[in-house]
Structure 1
Amino acid sequence: MPSYRVTLAVGALAPGVAPDAVLPEAARLVAERTVVEAQDVRLLRGVPCAVVRYEAAEDSDAVAIARHAVDGLRDTVEIRSDRVTRRDGARWTPIA
């Protein structure tokens, strides 16, 4: 099964939300729909990002899973942007 990842650029947190709670919540939301392979926090161009890698049968499923995570985080944290990529050999290919 193909491997995908959603990269969520994180903005302002809701009152009372700890920064270290965002990644586990994003992974939990993805895990409601599929198998989570990995999770990580990265700093991309100075912006903190939660990255969750997961399995999906096809691109449309991967995008729907990412939407579920973004929607579920809406009351917790501002998502400045999100990006879904698919693992193709040694590369991560953006999904439209």
Structure 2
Amino acid sequence: MPSYRVTLAIGALAPGVAPDAVLPAAARLVAELAVVEAQDVRLLRGVPCAVVRYEAGEDELAVAVARHAVDGLAGTVEVRSDRVTRRDGARWTPIA
């Protein structure tokens, strides 16, 4: 089964939300629809990002999983942008 990842650029947090709660919440939302393979926090161009890697049968499902995570985080954190990529050999290919 193909491996995908969603990279969420994180902005402002809602009052009372701890920064270390964002990644587990994103992974939990992804896990509602897919098998989570890994989760990580990265700093990309100075912006903190939550990255969740997961399995999905096809690109459309992978995008739906990412949408579910973004929508689920809406009340707790500003998601400035999101990007879905698919593992193709040694590369991560963006999904349009």
Q: Could you say which TM-score interval applies, normalised by the shorter chain?
A: over 0.9
> Structure 2: 5+ residue runs without aligned partners?
none
Displacement of 1:14 after TM fit? Answer: 0.2
Q: Distance in 1 between matches of 2:14 and 2:95?
A: 29
Q: Which residue type is aligned with residue 19 of structure 2?
A: P
Displacement of 1:55 after TM fit? Answer: 0.2
Alignment partner of 1:29 is 2:41:
no
Displacement of 1:82 after TM fit? Answer: 0.1
Q: Distance in 2 between matches of 1:33 and 1:59?
A: 14
Alignment partner of 1:41 is 2:48:
no
Q: Distance in 2 between matches of 1:70 and 1:87?
A: 21
Q: Distance in 1 between matches of 2:14 and 2:55?
A: 29
Compute the TM-score of the two structures, normalised by the length of structure 2. 1.00
Match of 1:64 in 2: 64
> Structure 1: 5+ residue runs without aligned partners?
none
Q: Distance in 2 between matches of 1:33 and 1:58?
A: 13
CA RMSD of aligned residues (A): 0.2
Displacement of 1:17 after TM fit? Answer: 0.0
Displacement of 1:27 after TM fit? Answer: 0.1
Displacement of 1:32 after TM fit? Answer: 0.2
Match of 1:79 in 2: 79
Compute the TM-score of the two structures, normalised by the length of structure 1. 1.00
Structure 1 consecutive aligned stretches of length 4 or more whose deviation exceeds 6 Å: none
State the number of aligned residues.
Answer: 96
Q: Distance in 2 between matches of 1:70 and 1:34?
A: 15
What percentage of aligned pairs have identical amino acids?
A: 89
